[in-house]
Amino acid sequence: MPVTVRSFAKINLGLYIGPPRADGFHDLRTVYQTIALHDVIRVRVVRGTGIAITCADRRVPCDASNTCYRMAERVMEELDASGRVEIEIEKRLPVQGGLGAGSSNAIATLIGMERALKKRMPQARRLRVAAVVGSDLPLFLVGGTVLGVGRGEEVYPMADFPATPIVVVTPEVGVSTPRAFADWDQLTASGVSDRLLEVGRAMSAWLVSPNTGASARGRSRDGSLLPDLVRTGIENDFERVVFPQYPELRDMKGALERAGAVYASLSGSGATLYGLFQSRAAAARAENRLRKQGLRALATTTLTRSQYWKKVLVAGR
């Protein structure tokens, strides 16, 4: 029997990009939040050699360029294991969607392989392996509400936001993340050097404010939303380069706001947009309304860290 793993998606609650670094990456400040939408990954390790990936979705490469492949290679090496790794990807999340699906699939592969091989790496080693495969992977080893710094790979668990209803809109287009970063460099060629420091200070102030973060154990006053973070005026820098190229995405953000979102934003470099809602009923109404406008909208919820870890492994498989 294969090990079955739910590979959850993430959204970014604010994302700030610094200047390019010597290694070509960009320093970031972001708050990642895991959500309930997911792919399903089935992993087995059988006799033989090699890594085989299968996926019914043709947009997903099944060769060595797949992040799951790169992860499987490293895990076999790190765990000093032998055998043939078979990975089946049941794709439900958008490809190049800004929801971290490819990254999450790779972490699901790691979790599935550890279970299949009955061997585990210490968490610090898992985080190192994850960061080598991609900047957006380590967050999925934490889950819930996660502060991301460095190139996004340096992750710190934050006091969880309570599970919050959201609506996700998945457009047909896919956005290339490297291209979005390059466009950001062009836009900001005149310099944004102090910006991340300012953002860091604002986040720090927010984290110690009486109603949020460490002091409130993630509970907002009404217990249902994350209004304090939203009130600080979080932004996603990628909107400034992605919206001019895909004006329809700006319109979709507007549609989410008109459908009642307390806050709406692009996730990562897009093209997925999301809105936060006051209640599940409000999210369901918005989903309905957006679908009538011809948009692919899905009402779901954010996942706290404990919900995430409770649901990652599909029981009995």
Planar angle of CA 236, 57, 12, nearest 5 degrees: 15
Determine how many CB atoms are found less than 10 A away from the CB of residue 142.
Answer: 21
Under the criterion CB under 6 A, does residue 65 sit at the interface with ligand C5P? no
C-alpha to C-alpha distances, 265 to 251, 272, 273, nearest whole angstrom = 11, 9, 6
User: Any contact of residue 22 with ligand C5P (CB under 6 A)?
Assistant: no
Contact 37, 297 (CB under 8 A): no
The catalytically annotated residue of 10, 39, 91, 228 is 10
Which one among 97, 100, 134, 275 touches ligand C5P, defined by CB under 6 A?
A: 134
* x-or-dash string of contact with ligand C5P, 145-174, rule CB under 6 A: ------xx----------------------
User: Which listed residue (66, 109, 135, 188) binds ligand C5P by CB under 6 A?
Assistant: 135
| DSSP secondary structure letter of residue 313 | B
Strands (E) in the chain, as ranges, are 3-20, 26-46, 51-55, 84-90, 145-149, 154-157, 165-169, 263-266, 273-276, 297-301
Task: Give whichever of 104 and 135 is closer to ligand C5P, judged by the CB atom.
Answer: 135
The rounded distance, in Å, linking the Cα atoms of 6 and 92 is 11
Determine, following the binding rule CB under 6 A, whether residue 136 of this chain makes contact with ligand C5P: yes
Which of 25, 206, 246, 309 is close enough to bind ligand C5P by CB under 6 A? 25
Q: What are phi and psi of 181, to 5 degrees?
A: -65, -45
Which of these segments, 24-32, 38-46, 259-267, 298-306, binds ligand C5P (CB under 6 A)? 24-32
Q: Which of residues 21 and 258 has its CB atom nearest to ligand C5P in the complex? A: 21
* Active-site entry in 80, 91, 118, 136: 136
| Nearest distance from C-beta of residue 26 to ligand C5P, angstroms | 4
Q: Is 26 in the site for ligand C5P (CB under 6 A)?
A: yes
Site residues for ligand C5P, 81-120, by CB under 6 A, read none
Residue with tokens 């919206």: 243
Binding piece for ligand C5P, criterion CB under 6 A, among 44-52, 175-183, 215-223, 289-297: 175-183
Residue closer to ligand C5P, measured from CB, 25 or 206: 25
The type of residue at 97 is: G
Q: List residues bridging with 6 in a β-sheet.
A: 40
29 forms part of the interface with ligand C5P (CB under 6 A): no
Task: Examine residue 239 and tell whether it contacts ligand C5P (CB under 6 A).
Answer: no
User: Is residue 190 packed enough to be buried (19+ CB in 10 Å), middle (13-18) or exposed (0-12)?
Assistant: exposed
Whether 10 is a known active-site residue: answer yes
Pairing between strand 297-301 and 263-266?
unpaired
User: Is 232 a residue that touches ligand C5P (CB under 6 A)?
Assistant: no
Q: Which amino acid is at 259?
A: A
Instruction: Tally Cβ neighbours within 10 Å of residue 149.
Output: 16
**Residues making contact with ligand C5P (CB under 6 A):** 24-26, 28, 134-136, 151-152, 177-178, 181
Catalytically active residues, by annotation: 10, 136
